[in-house]
Structure 1
Amino acid sequence: MTDLLLTEKTGSILTIILNAPERRNPISDLPMVDALCEAFKAADTDPEVHAVVLTGAGKAFSSGGDVKKMVAGAGLRDALPVNTRSNYREGIQRLPLMFQSIDVPVVAAINGPAIGAGCDLACMCDVRIASETAVFAESFVKVGLVPGDGGAWLLPRIVGFSKACELALTGETIDAAEALRCGLVSRVVAPDQLMTAASDVALKIAANSRPATRLTKRLLREGQTTTLLTLLELSAAFQALAHMTDEHEQAVHAFINRDTPVRK
């Protein structure tokens, strides 16, 4: 694993830590994109991992893009616009596609500022728990840019169209309390309780059937874009799979016999 990320595995929970605190954990560089895709795809295929917690080292969750690399010829920006477009598609835009494709549930533990693409990274996760010290900004317009990483797709689906427009068009920063009010996060806790709270959610997910939680996440993700009829068909197919798992058989047996099912 690259030193851009740190990983800690406790039981069935994998914690992935963005590890560039001196730069506030930017995610726009290709090595970081590669590292994140590798780490999450590995977690998704690891039968021992039931949930992932994502957080940042230091005081920030993620600053998003590295502003110092936004000058011509640096970072994603090329002298030729056609190459810049390709850099985005082959770089940071791989992240929302990767998060959309994996089935392992991901809990974001937002320990500090989540700015620009860092805010969008939080939105790519399934559950968001914020420290009281966290702040959020869909701030691309503040540097004369647009959300190039899928934020215009992600944010309205979480906070609604009007609030998403307010955040993206003003670029203003909101605190954790406002993030909770608008539904950007589901819980706000004291800084020293953040990892405990995020791990608690991950453990509650992991306590359930691994096949069922992954199939349920896939239904929720597909439900963002598909029709009700198509989702019902997919739900029926997934239910047929779930009925045949050992976890389901054990849960039914335990319920009938008032026993505790064994989780794998």
Structure 2
Amino acid sequence: MSNFLDIRRDGHVAIVTMNRPETRNAVSDNDAVDALVAMCDAFNRDHSVRVVVLTGAGTAFSSGGNLKTLRATFGSDSGEPVNARYAYREGIQRLPLALANLEVPVIAAVNGPALGAGNDLACTCDIRIASEKAVFAATFVKLGLIPGDGGAWLLPRAIGASRAAELCFTGDTIDAATAREYGLVSRVVPHDKLLPTALELAHRIAANPGHALRMCKRLLKEAQHARLDTILEMSAGFQALAHHTAEHEAALDGFLSRIKG
């Protein structure tokens, strides 16, 4: 995949660390996008993976855009404006699509600042746990830009339209406690407890059958924009598959034997 990611396994849990502290784990460079997209593809095909924990090396979760390469990739040094359009579509915009299609649950262990596209990256994850050192911001407007990586779709779904508008229009930074108040993260923990907390939750999730987790995540994703009758139809199809698995049969037999005893 590239040296952007460090990936290790702990049973059914994959621990993925963005490992470029010198850029504060910026995700706008193509090799970083390539690595994350390849990771999603690999985990979709590896059915032994049930949960992913995503975190950052060093002091930041992700600074978002790499300001040192921004002008050459997207700005005045990239040539005609249409080149920037292609650069977004063929570059960082692949990232929210890949993570949206990642079949397994993803826990963001936000160890430090999550800024701009880094904040949006956290929003693509299913569960977000923050270190007390974490801060969050939609910083695009501070640079005279807009969220070009899908943040206008992601952030309102995480914290609601009004608060998302406030953060996007001001570019203000919020601390971990405020992020929890807003619903951006589900909990805030001491910095040294962040990864252990995320892993404990990951293993509780991974104790469940992988096929059920993958189908449940797909339903939750589709339910964000589909009609109720569509979700009911999908649920019927997925549930029919689940009823005919060995894991379901074993769990049902175990429950029935306990109530008989």
The residue aligned with 1:172 is: 172
For 2:74, the equivalent position in structure 1 comes to 76
- Secondary structure of 1:53 counterpart: strand
CA distance in 1, matches of 2:132, 2:244: 43
The answer (yes or no) to whether the contact 2:13–2:203 under 8 Å persists in 1 is yes
Distance in 1 (CA, whole Å) between partners of 2:66 and 2:144 is 14
Which segments of structure 1 move beyond 3 Å, counting only runs of 4 or more? none
CA contact (8 A) 2:43 2:102 kept: no
Residues 1-264 of structure 1 aligned to structure 2 (within 5 Å): 1-71=1-71, 74-77=72-75, 78-258=78-258
CA distance in 2, matches of 1:151, 1:201: 26
1:76 is displaced (CA, Å) by 2.9
1:24 partner letter:
R
Q: CA deviation at 1:126?
A: 0.6
Encode CA deviations 1:189-228: one digit per residue, 9 max, x unaligned. Answer: 0000000111111111101111111100000000011111
Instruction: After superposing the two structures, state which structure 1 stretch, 201-210 or 151-160, moved more.
Output: 201-210
Q: Secondary structure at the match of 1:3?
A: coil
| Cα distance between partner residues in 2 of 1:246 and 1:153 | 38
Q: Is the 8 A contact 2:52 2:107 kept in 1?
A: yes
How many residues get paired? Answer: 257
Amino acid at match of 2:74: L
Q: Which amino acid aligns with 1:154?
A: L
Q: Is the 8 A contact 2:131 2:191 kept in 1?
A: yes
3-state SS of paired residue (1:257): helix
Q: Secondary structure at the match of 1:52?
A: strand
- What's the offset of the Cα at 1:258? 2.5
- Aligned to 2:27, what secondary structure does the other structure show? coil
Deviation of 1:41 (Å): 1.4
- What is the rounded CA distance, in whole Å, between the counterparts of 2:39 and 2:173 in structure 1? 30
Instruction: Note the C-alpha offset of 1:94.
Output: 0.3
State the percentage of identical aligned residues.
56
Q: Deviations over 1:126-174 (max 9, x none)?
A: 1101000000001100000000000000010110000100111111000
CA deviation map 1:14-69 (0-9, x unaligned) = 01110110110000000010011111211121121110100000000000001122
> Within 2, Cα distance between the matches of 1:228 and 1:90?
33
CA distance in 2, matches of 1:224, 1:201: 24
C-alpha displacement at 1:79, in angstroms? 2.1
TM-score normalised by structure 2 residue count: 0.96
Unaligned runs of 5+ residues in structure 1 are 260-264
Which amino acid in the other structure matches residue 248 of structure 2? H
In the alignment, the residues of structure 2 paired with residue 167 and residue 201 of structure 1 have an alpha-carbon distance, to the nearest angstrom, of: 29
Query: Is the Cα–Cα contact under 8 Å of residues 107 and 202 in structure 2 kept in the other structure?
Result: yes
